[in-house]
Amino acid sequence: MPDEALPTVQLADPMALRAYAHPIRLRLIALLRQRGPQTATQAAAALGESVPSCSFHLRQMAKYGLVELVPGRRGREKPWQATAAATEWEGSGAGGPAGEAALQLELTLARQYFEAIRLWLTTQADEPAEWRQAAQFGDSLLHLTAAELKLLAEQIDGLLQPFRGRRPEAGDGSQGTRPVLMLHVAVPAAAAVPVPDDRQVPR
């Protein structure tokens, strides 16, 4: 589960970026950050992967300081935990080997984001009306300067801050919550790519 006390891990080494840019590893990191320590067996059951596969990917991520075995735990199979609450890296625009590795990581993340959106769109008919009405799907075409875009991102981040680190079992008023994926995407739109400025109407 997320822990705001945990640091943010910085990835700069191209090898570390490439190691992280794997769908199973990204899902494992998300699982450990959301649910807390997991053994390879528990992670495999949660993700629908094999135990050897999860064990291998956890060991690979441990080489770059992304995960670690929980200290002091005994038993045949020890649980793993995330070492940070978030991961940061320089964008693919940095160029060079690190930029190329960052691009592969960002493309992998984009595919996972798309899959999360696709899953919601194809299953939302089975969801409660209150969640269908609260969900958001659409785009906005804005004309901004670079400074305004940066300011807008900072303001949005400020709005999200009170909701980060919630733990339903901690009695912090978050009972009845569920994980919500809030995507951050704000990129200059090429003139050749029309943006309709459309939104899904909640039903």
Taking residues 34-52, report their average pLDDT.
Answer: 95
Closest by CA to 25, choosing from 2, 58, 70, is 58
pLDDT in tens, 59-73: 999 999 999 999 887
Residue 87 has pLDDT above 80, yes or no: yes
pLDDT of residue 185: 87
Confidence of residue 175 (pLDDT cuts 50, 70, 90): confident
CB contact at 8 A, 5 and 50: no
Taking residues 83-99, report their average pLDDT.
Answer: 87
Confidence of residue 75 (pLDDT cuts 50, 70, 90): low
Choose which CATH entry (1.10.10.10, 3.40.630.10, 2.40.160.10, 2.160.20.10) describes domain 8-126: 1.10.10.10
- CA angle, 10 then 16 then 20, to 5°: 90
List own/partner pairs for 83-87 with CB under 8 A and 24 or more apart.
83/6, 83/7, 83/9, 84/6, 84/7, 84/8, 84/9, 85/2, 85/3, 85/4, 85/5, 85/6, 85/7, 85/8, 85/33, 85/165, 86/8, 86/9, 87/8, 87/9, 87/11, 87/20, 87/29
- Domain range annotation of the chain: 8-126, 135-203
Residue 86 has pLDDT above 70, yes or no: yes
CB contact at 8 A, 111 and 21: no
Mean pLDDT, the chain, rounded, equals: 87
Taking residues 38-44, report their average pLDDT.
Answer: 96
Residue 84 has pLDDT above 80, yes or no: yes
Closest by CA to 188, choosing from 157, 148, 138, is 148
Closest by CA to 24, choosing from 59, 72, 65, is 59
Question: What pTM, to 2 d.p., does this model score?
Answer: 0.79
Q: How many CB atoms lie within 10 A of CB 124?
A: 16
